[in-house]
Every structure is written in structure tokens, then in C-alpha cells.
Amino acid sequence: MSEQLNGFVKGLAKAELHVHIEGTLEPEMMFEMAARNGVRLPFATVEETRAAYDFDDLQSFLDLYYLGAEALVSERDFSDLMAAYLRRAISDGVRHAEIFFDPQTHTERGIDIGTVIEGLAKAQREVESEISSMLILCFLRHLPASAAIEVLEAAMPYRHLISAVGLDSSEVGNPPELFIEPFRAAKEAGFRLVAHAGEEGPAEYVRGALDALGAERIDHGVNAYQDDALVKRLASEKIALTMCPISNQRLKVFPDLRKHNLKQYLDRGVVVTVNSDDPSYFGGYIADNYVAIAAALELGKNDLKTLAINSINASFLGDERKTTLLAEIDAYV
Ligand code: ADE
Ligand code: ZN
């Protein structure tokens, strides 16, 4: 039955809307790159690294995630990383991916933002006939808004390679209102807008992401459920939530997946999508996330179809490609 579910999910055309490219760095590749670049890693072996991926909360994960990212140095590293993710996504039935990257994690170490973006974009171009993809530049919310404005300006020569701007990193204590200015500047430059909110932070941060930042989608949003009026608003305004069930389990947002609120949101008409977040660190790519949440919440084929349809509708694709992909889903189920 589980094999059957896995096969069905992999064959279902879908979009991935919430994946951090740095979070796809598998330990094998991390060690290869660290050796190539003369970077010292905090672990001796691949096995030791994986064993350390036992998290208490978002911050305990972020601490390791930023250390791991130090292995990434050259344009080739960023290109190899993106190529490996896209190959994996294709095999999971992903037809379109909108992919976060954290430029400040790299520019703070003296790496040119052009090295990062050109490397990622090269790999995107190489498989564009098999999977369409877009880049989302994320501001790190543990750093000041002035640093976000600086990185946005540094990215402007590569404006044509970036579709949207987002907000990630340590949520609690760093409310969306701190980033009004960089989001206003991003909107003026024509970027689409998204933001992580309500992962560990309160429903109030989801309201802030919508009202203060103008976010068009909410990344995670699980804690919006505490606010009934907000849930009604998400449904009526068709504001999509990009949920990441295995991430929520591994970061102890919902230690038991059977307690996850994804199905409650679906039943209330919210545009919920399923995504992988940081698959290397959490041990599951997008198809694994569909399978895990389907098993935990006893979702049927119609729910899975709805999740796939939502992912296409909530993407930043144009109407023509959306129509093609929706027809593919319809023919499959
Ligand atoms: N950066 C990478 N993964 C993240 C997550 N789940 N939440 C916030 N920032 C992140
Ligand atoms: Zn995320």
C-alpha cells in the first residue's frame, strides 16, 4: 500500500514552492566541496554529520544549516548543488520549482553574490526543458533591515534571474514589521513577495507578513490556525500556505505528524501546498512529504490531487503553463 502511495505521488505533477537550496546540501556533497575548497567542517564523517541532525527547534537546525553552507564557495559549487536538487525534484514529479536562496549567508563570508546567482542559474538553464524553476531571494531576519536593503541592491545586476523576495531564518523576536522597508523596495523593483511566518512565531506574524510586507504567500503558516478570523481570511483571499510537514515534525512544531493541522486547513478551504523546506537536513524530499502527511492524516487521492492543484495555482507561473500542468494532473487522477 505504501509503495502504491509512493508511486502515485511521484507520478502526480506538482510544483515545489518552499525549498531552501542550501537545505538540499547532502552531507556527501558537503564533504566533497569542503575538501575541494579547504573548508573545515565541524564533523569528521558523513555518518557523524547525519547523526547530528537531531533538532530541538528551528534555531538548533539553523545553527547547523549555516555551518554546512560554509562548504559552498565557488560558482561550480552552487551549480552542482542546484543541479542535484533539480534532478531529485524531476524524479519526484516536480514540473516547476520556486527555490529560496540566502545570499547573505554567502556574502557575509566574502563570496560575491554574482558567484552564487550565476552558479544557481546555470544549473537551472541546463534542465529547463524538463523542469521550470524560479529563484526567490530571501532576507535573513536575524540580520538588520539595512543589511536586507544592501543585499537587494547587490542583487540588482541579476534582477532578470530572480522572481521573488522572501524572509527566512530565526522567526521569534524578529517580526515582519522590521522588514517593511526592504519589502517596499523589492515591490518597487517588481519582485513578487513571500515570507516565512507562523512557523514558530504567532498568528500575529502572519497578519504582519500580509499587511505590513504585502506577502502574497505565507511560508509555513501553521500557527495562523490559532486565529479563527485569520483562517477565514486566508481562505477567502486565497492566500496560499506553503507547508512542510516533515520539517514541522523534525523541528518539533508538531512532533507527532498525526497532530498536524494541514487537513483542518484543507477542510476550511485554505490553499494548502506540501513542500520539503530543507530535505537534506530533515530526511525527506517533496514526494516523501506528500507520502508522510497522507499516511499520518489518512489523506485520499482527492486530497493529494487538491494539494497538487493548489501548488500549481499558488505558483508564480503564467496562466498558459498553469493550464497545461492542471490538465496533466486532471488526466492523471
Ligand atoms: N531557513 C531554512 N529553513 C528555514 C525554516 N524552516 N524556517 C526559517 N528559516 C529557514
Ligand atoms: Zn523554509
- CA-nearest of 137, 180, 178 to 156 is 137
Cα 57 to Cα 109: distance, rounded to the nearest angstrom: 25
Read off the pTM: 0.98
Which one, of 34, 16, 60, lies nearest residue 281 by Cα?
60
Query: Residues 28-57: pLDDT tens digits?
Result: 999 999 999 999 999 999 999 999 999 999
Centre of ligand 1 from the C-alpha of residue 219, in Å: 9
Q: Which of 199, 216, 237, 298 is catalytic?
A: 199
pLDDT of residue 2: 86
For residue range 266-310, list pLDDT tens digits in order.
999 999 999 999 999 999 999 999 999 999 999 999 999 999 999
Express each pLDDT in 90-106 by its tens digit.
999 999 999 999 999 99
| Dihedral over Cα of 59, 282, 239, 91: its sign | positive
Asked if residues 135 and 99 have their Cβ atoms less than 8 Å apart, the reply is: yes
Q: With CA atoms as reference, report the closest residue to 22 among 60, 97, 77.
A: 77
**Which ligand neighbours the alpha carbon of 140 most closely?**
1
Best residue for ligand 1 mutational test, from 16, 62, 248 (most atoms within 8 Å of Cβ) = 62
CATH of the domain spanning 2-332 = 3.20.20.140
Distance 220 CA to ligand 2 centre (A): 7
199 is an active site residue: yes
Give the distance (Å) from ligand 2 centre to CA of residue 103: 15
DSSP code at position 198: S
Check: CB of residue 102 under 8 Å from CB of residue 140. yes
